[in-house]
Chains A and B, each alone.
Chain A
């Protein structure tokens, strides 16, 4: 797909925004499908999302995406008008999910040089479906022709009820009462217009006194709205106007005579204001009858960007849609900072729309308090923070200072240290994102599998607010997906009868939970399905020849963990989702790449639980520095159980010369670091050096080093490709780090050392 020249810089923004919109869309769909109802809010939101995608992809020159989004938008336009037209909800969800998937796939292709995908088939499906909705809709005129888009509500007033309300004569504060009245019904109405448009001015109050308040609304239950209105305080009468009151359309009619003028200001420093302005125009063009803007030549004239930057972008338009709808559309265009109406008789938003307006205001405020940042910049920031931590140590522990008594310096240094550690916390916290994003993606997977496998299961989240480093989350999606698939496919019983017989509720349950404790995040995926049979697993593993010791020596727990070995698949049948012999071993690998561990536990007939433990952050660890000869190594502190000097009689040497150390009646193998890493110059005499007891993944061993140097936070720096190709990872080294004095330490990979010895 080719992006129009000049638009490349906006591609990132477009991809980011569209992806998050699609994600949002999916969440709404999942939610509504689960609750089996469409709230007005949801429909409007879907409509809005599709509208935005339509606009922005048109701006990027991605016609196919724009059209597809348009067709979905049209579909939801019909639904927004009358929710009851939707009969075949399953079909609706399928269509929208398909569209969303296609859009997403298209975005992935955005930088590839491939022709735009042809969406005409899906689009014609959607149109056909829209047609059936309209067919069911009978005489309601909603559209002129397919693909032409639909007109605003004013031109096709389907189900609009128009009322004239008269207040009791002599009512004080009539404007306020009108506001209260409208607010009381606003949430029951799909749309609501009033004459006069605003209630605060004296003129409008006089108008209400003489002509009454005219309300035109569309609602699912007009009668209920009617009764609320007629029972409102100080309402004298409430008559339904059969004939459309000429003034009802005053808002739009009036607007078309006197064009509405708005000034759009963009976020400072957002660049390419002229193109952004064009985006605004594209966004609202479809909904406007007339549209003029200044500066005019925004597409070609780069200098117009400067004008827009300083004076704002002026749009004059008339539209059938209410002003607030247009303003909202403008306001939602990326990088728009503010939209103001600048007509002489400044239009305030109608009280009727106040609730939505307040909602919108709320939303914009919310938006403005969030910034999206390129992850690379965050990585840079973190690296820089690491440098500062090192630089601080270089200054405060400078060898030149040795033996000097510098009270003031020490004081200042302490202050610096404190500020740095606070800053480090903040930098780390910036990178933290709630895990719910990763969890939410699983809903979709469960949904698809439910349909394909014909199983019933619900997905429950626990602790989805738990925050994890962004880079961890990014690497968590695949493992989570494999585990959820596994639970769905192998865990949950095939037939509901099986579940009922076992005394379980017919609908299966998969729980995704997350919690954090002492620098680790614990994530578990558990199902209440049929569980695993250790004997069956062992038999299978034996048949596949992956057992490493006699079958009888395996504990149940070890047997369960067999499923994470490569080349193990318990399902005889290969399904689309899992059971290809890859899967769980991939999970194990990717989690281990993150420095985490996976374990499985299961009870036959009760269910299976996968538990993942990963470090909160990948980049900074508390480490204990130990010296061996001239080298310095760092052992991550969370692996260290204890350290001690060897006492007489603790050392045992077996017949093969293997050394072991006896601690409180338990025997641990001894690993001499100088031999492990083939280093010269370390202590040979065990009593001279120090013994460190480490534990990882249920294995323990004693390490022998020369000396403990001290505890320090270290920033993990990955090894260069050259060193990785030399196999440093296989030799028990996880990465390196720079110490306060600028020297380099190597961070030991305790779990791999323990696994190999």
Chain B
């Protein structure tokens, strides 16, 4: 799948977390909703904020800030939840704000330097660089399911 995206490009939803622009392949995105009341689930890792009710479905919510080891910010009117669907699982991720949907052309996509010392590279699949600047394309599966923190 990685190769596929790198060679073909595709639509990417971009969002900002802690001042950094990230992207996520649009095929994973189900919807974007505002932050509503999150029910906490006891005894789960810190980045799992809890569960919310989306039209009768119970969807776990992950804080991207916590996931990346950053400080939690207070929710404001621009904070929102991007609901992703990966396989059979729906998961929501809390981001500071959503920007736009851009089309990434293959020529804009670069691979991540594998020996990068950056803490985030584990979750980064590709780097997209176009005229607007640099976006870090997230690896959804790893972002959500990777156990190692």
Could you tell me which A residues sit within 8 Å of B by CB distance?
Answer: 383, 386-387, 390, 630-631, 677-679, 717, 719-723, 725-728, 731, 733, 736, 738, 742-746
Q: A717-B58, A736-B58, A738-B56 are in contact. Are A723 and B43 (CB under 8 A)?
A: no
User: Quick one: which of B45, B53, B58, B89 contacts A726, CB cutoff 8 A?
Assistant: B45
Size category of the B interface is 20 to 34
Would you list 9 pairs from A and B whose C-beta atoms are within 8 A, ordered by A residue? A387-B56, A630-B40, A678-B43, A722-B145, A723-B60, A728-B41, A728-B44, A736-B58, A743-B39
Confirm or deny: B147 has a beta carbon within 8 angstroms of a beta carbon on chain A: yes
- Chain A residues contacting B44 (CB-CB under 8 Å) are 723, 726-728
Report whether B89 and A738 are in contact in the complex, using a CB–CB cutoff of 8 Å: no
Report whether B90 and A720 are in contact in the complex, using a CB–CB cutoff of 8 Å: yes
17 additional A-B residue pairs with CB within 8 Å, beyond A719-B58, A720-B89: A383-B56, A631-B39, A631-B40, A631-B42, A717-B57, A720-B51, A720-B90, A722-B145, A723-B51, A725-B145, A726-B45, A728-B43, A731-B42, A738-B56, A744-B51, A744-B58, A746-B42
Q: A720-B58, A721-B88, A722-B60 are in contact. Are A733 and B42 (CB under 8 A)?
A: yes
Q: Closest CB of chain A to B56's CB: distance in Å? A: 5
Bound CA span A21–B1, Å: 43
- Chain B residues contacting A736 (CB-CB under 8 Å) are 39, 51, 58
Bound CA span A678–B44, Å: 10
Could you tell me which B residues sit within 8 Å of A by CB distance?
Answer: 37, 39-45, 48, 51-53, 56-60, 62, 88-91, 144-145, 147
Q: Which residue of A lies closest to B62 (CB)?
A: A722
Q: A390-B56, A723-B48, A736-B58 are in contact. Are A677 and B42 (CB under 8 A)?
A: yes
- Chain A residues contacting B144 (CB-CB under 8 Å) are 722
Bound CA span A475–B41, Å: 29
Bound CA span A725–B62, Å: 14
Report whether A746 and B53 are in contact in the complex, using a CB–CB cutoff of 8 Å: no
User: Quick one: which of B37, B48, B56, B60 contacts A743, CB cutoff 8 A?
Assistant: B37
Q: Which residue of A lies closest to B44 (CB)?
A: A726
User: Quick one: which of A722, A727, A728, A742 contacts B89, CB cutoff 8 A?
Assistant: A722
Report whether A738 and B58 are in contact in the complex, using a CB–CB cutoff of 8 Å: yes
Q: Closest CB of chain A to B35's CB: distance in Å? A: 15
Interface centre among A630, A726, A727, A733 (most CB of B within 10 A): A726
- Chain B residues contacting A726 (CB-CB under 8 Å) are 44-45, 48
Q: Closest CB of chain B to A681's CB: distance in Å? A: 11
Bound CA span A163–B113, Å: 97
Q: Closest CB of chain B to A389's CB: distance in Å? A: 11
The 6 A-B residue pairs with the shortest CB-CB distance in the complex, in nearest-first order: A677-B42, A744-B39, A726-B44, A731-B43, A387-B56, A720-B60
Report whether A744 and B43 are in contact in the complex, using a CB–CB cutoff of 8 Å: no
Q: A725-B147, A726-B48, A744-B52 are in contact. Are A720 and B43 (CB under 8 A)?
A: no
Bound CA span A354–B48, Å: 71
Task: Give the total number of A-B pairs whose CB atoms are below 8 A apart.
Answer: 70
Q: Closest CB of chain B to A273's CB: distance in Å? A: 35
Report whether A744 and B42 are in contact in the complex, using a CB–CB cutoff of 8 Å: no
Q: Closest CB of chain B to A628's CB: distance in Å? A: 9
Q: Closest CB of chain A to B67's CB: distance in Å? A: 12
Main secondary structure of the interface of A (DSSP, over half): mixed
- Chain B residues contacting A387 (CB-CB under 8 Å) are 56
Q: A720-B91, A726-B45 are in contact. Are A744 and B56 (CB under 8 A)?
A: no
- Chain A residues contacting B90 (CB-CB under 8 Å) are 720
Report whether A727 and B43 are in contact in the complex, using a CB–CB cutoff of 8 Å: yes
- Chain B residues contacting A728 (CB-CB under 8 Å) are 41, 43-44
Q: Closest CB of chain B to A735's CB: distance in Å? A: 9
- Chain A residues contacting B147 (CB-CB under 8 Å) are 725
Q: Closest CB of chain B to A729's CB: distance in Å? A: 11
Q: Closest CB of chain B to A280's CB: distance in Å? A: 40
Q: Closest CB of chain B to A298's CB: distance in Å? A: 40
Bound CA span A670–B60, Å: 31
Report whether A723 and B56 are in contact in the complex, using a CB–CB cutoff of 8 Å: no
Interface centre among B40, B41, B48, B59 (most CB of A within 10 A): B41
Q: Which residue of A lies closest to B36 (CB)?
A: A742
- Chain B residues contacting A731 (CB-CB under 8 Å) are 42-43
Report whether A677 and B43 are in contact in the complex, using a CB–CB cutoff of 8 Å: yes
Report whether A721 and B89 are in contact in the complex, using a CB–CB cutoff of 8 Å: yes
- Chain A residues contacting B91 (CB-CB under 8 Å) are 720, 722
Q: Which residue of B lies closest to A726 (CB)?
A: B44
Q: Which residue of B lies closest to A737 (CB)?
A: B58
Q: A722-B91, A725-B147, A736-B51 are in contact. Are A679 and B56 (CB under 8 A)?
A: no
- Chain A residues contacting B60 (CB-CB under 8 Å) are 720, 722-723
Bound CA span A722–B37, Å: 19
Bound CA span A464–B83, Å: 46
Bound CA span A728–B51, Å: 13
Interface centre among A723, A725, A736, A738 (most CB of B within 10 A): A723
- Chain B residues contacting A738 (CB-CB under 8 Å) are 53, 56, 58
Report whether B145 and A723 are in contact in the complex, using a CB–CB cutoff of 8 Å: no
- Chain A residues contacting B88 (CB-CB under 8 Å) are 721
Q: A721-B89, A725-B145 are in contact. Are A744 and B48 (CB under 8 A)?
A: no
- Chain B residues contacting A679 (CB-CB under 8 Å) are 42
- Chain A residues contacting B56 (CB-CB under 8 Å) are 383, 386-387, 390, 738
Q: A722-B89, A722-B145, A725-B145 are in contact. Are A744 and B45 (CB under 8 A)?
A: no
Bound CA span A357–B81, Å: 65
Bound CA span A736–B54, Å: 13
- Chain B residues contacting A744 (CB-CB under 8 Å) are 39, 51-53, 58
Bound CA span A386–B55, Å: 12
Bound CA span A746–B44, Å: 13
Q: Closest CB of chain A to B36's CB: distance in Å? A: 9
- Chain B residues contacting A720 (CB-CB under 8 Å) are 51, 58-60, 89-91
- Chain A residues contacting B45 (CB-CB under 8 Å) are 726
Q: Which residue of B lies closest to A673 (CB)?
A: B42
Q: Closest CB of chain A to B107's CB: distance in Å? A: 35
- Chain B residues contacting A746 (CB-CB under 8 Å) are 39, 41-42
Q: Which residue of B lies closest to A736 (CB)?
A: B58
Bound CA span A731–B43, Å: 7
Q: Which residue of A lies closest to B37 (CB)?
A: A743
Q: Closest CB of chain B to A149's CB: distance in Å? A: 48
Q: Closest CB of chain B to A713's CB: distance in Å? A: 15
Q: Which residue of B lies closest to A738 (CB)?
A: B53
- Chain A residues contacting B42 (CB-CB under 8 Å) are 631, 677-679, 731, 733, 746
- Chain A residues contacting B53 (CB-CB under 8 Å) are 738, 742-744
Bound CA span A286–B52, Å: 61
- Chain B residues contacting A727 (CB-CB under 8 Å) are 43-44
Bound CA span A319–B52, Å: 67
Q: Closest CB of chain A to B19's CB: distance in Å? A: 27
- Chain A residues contacting B51 (CB-CB under 8 Å) are 720, 723, 736, 744
Bound CA span A281–B49, Å: 62
- Chain B residues contacting A725 (CB-CB under 8 Å) are 145, 147
Bound CA span A746–B48, Å: 15
Q: Closest CB of chain A to B149's CB: distance in Å? A: 12
Report whether A733 and B41 are in contact in the complex, using a CB–CB cutoff of 8 Å: yes
Bound CA span A722–B88, Å: 11
Bound CA span A677–B59, Å: 20
Bound CA span A733–B44, Å: 12
Q: Closest CB of chain B to A757's CB: distance in Å? A: 14
User: Quick one: which of A383, A631, A722 contacts B48, CB cutoff 8 A?
Assistant: A722
Q: Which residue of A lies closest to B39 (CB)?
A: A744
Bound CA span A450–B59, Å: 51
- Chain A residues contacting B57 (CB-CB under 8 Å) are 717
Bound CA span A631–B94, Å: 21
Q: Closest CB of chain A to B66's CB: distance in Å? A: 14
